[in-house]
Amino acid sequence: MTRPRIGIISNQHVIDGSYRTHAGGVMNTEAVAEASGGMPLLIPADPRFLSVEELLETFDGFVLTGGRPNVHPSEYGEEETEAHGAFDRARDAITLPLVRACVERGQPFLGICRGFQEVAVAMGSCLHPEIRDLPGRSNHRMPPDGTLEEKFALRHKVTFTDGGVFHHLMGTREVMTNTLHGQGVVRAGKRFVIDGTAPDGTAEAAYIDGAPGFTLAVQWHPEYNAVNDPVSRPLFESFGKAAAAWQTGQRAMPMLKSA
């Protein structure tokens, strides 16, 4: 049997100021292939080229990757401002309905950073354009200087709900993670369950209440060093198992049970 097909949401990128591409980080490919055991395939996230229905029929699971562009604020009922940064409306048009469809079908997905925010918005949550500007919040943005290892270094704790999904998955209530984001969830949608937070209260881990399948999302970047990191590996491994189950016809793999 072939490996489960994992669709990795790509981002638009311009090379040399003129050549447009759909690109994906090698970290995501490595994490899917080596930690999840899946076949990594990039998805050009643009409704001109494919439909959500085609994606659902083609793939066994999806990784909603990070990316510099933010979800457009109109998707959660707010006006666009300069503080909201850059956007990718084509990606919004694919990922938001894809998340909703996967939730209802039980089809697995793993949301990462922007992907975490996409899952949040798709399920009725609201974001703040610059989480560090809120009283009592920390700066979660990527350090502007340093090596790749320094940018992705572990910077703060995430505390999971006692007995919750992530507590069960990780085998501990506290882990250390990197942090490379500007926006953050400020009001959770009804089904968007925040299951882990940073010390300043910022939402860092979540799942969808009542979903029949794997719907985990994290605000940090677990794809970095996923095979060797004790926090990242179980996350990608459990996602890979859910995708493999979907591939074999288990059309609704229940969410991980509480500890």
Q: Which residues are catalytic?
A: 113, 221, 223
Q: Find the largest Cα–Cα distance for the chain.
A: 53
Decide the pairing of beta strands 109-112 and 215-218. parallel
Task: Quote the tokens at residue 246.
Answer: 């979907």
The burial of 193, by beta-carbon neighbours within 10 Å (0-12 exposed, 13-18 middle, 19 or more buried), is given as buried
Other CB atoms within 10 A of residue 96 CB: 19
**Nearest-10 crossing angle of helices 89-105, 114-122:** 60
Contact criterion met (CB below 8 Å) for 259 and 74: no
**How many residues are there in the chain?**
259
Query: Given 3-state DSSP classes, what are the helix, strand and coil percentages for the chain, each rounded to the nearest 5?
Result: 30, 25, 45
Other CB atoms within 10 A of residue 21 CB: 12
The burial of 234, by beta-carbon neighbours within 10 Å (0-12 exposed, 13-18 middle, 19 or more buried), is given as middle
Distance CA 148, CA 143 (A): 10
Looking at residue 61, its amino acid is G
Element (DSSP H or E) covering residue 56: helix 52-58
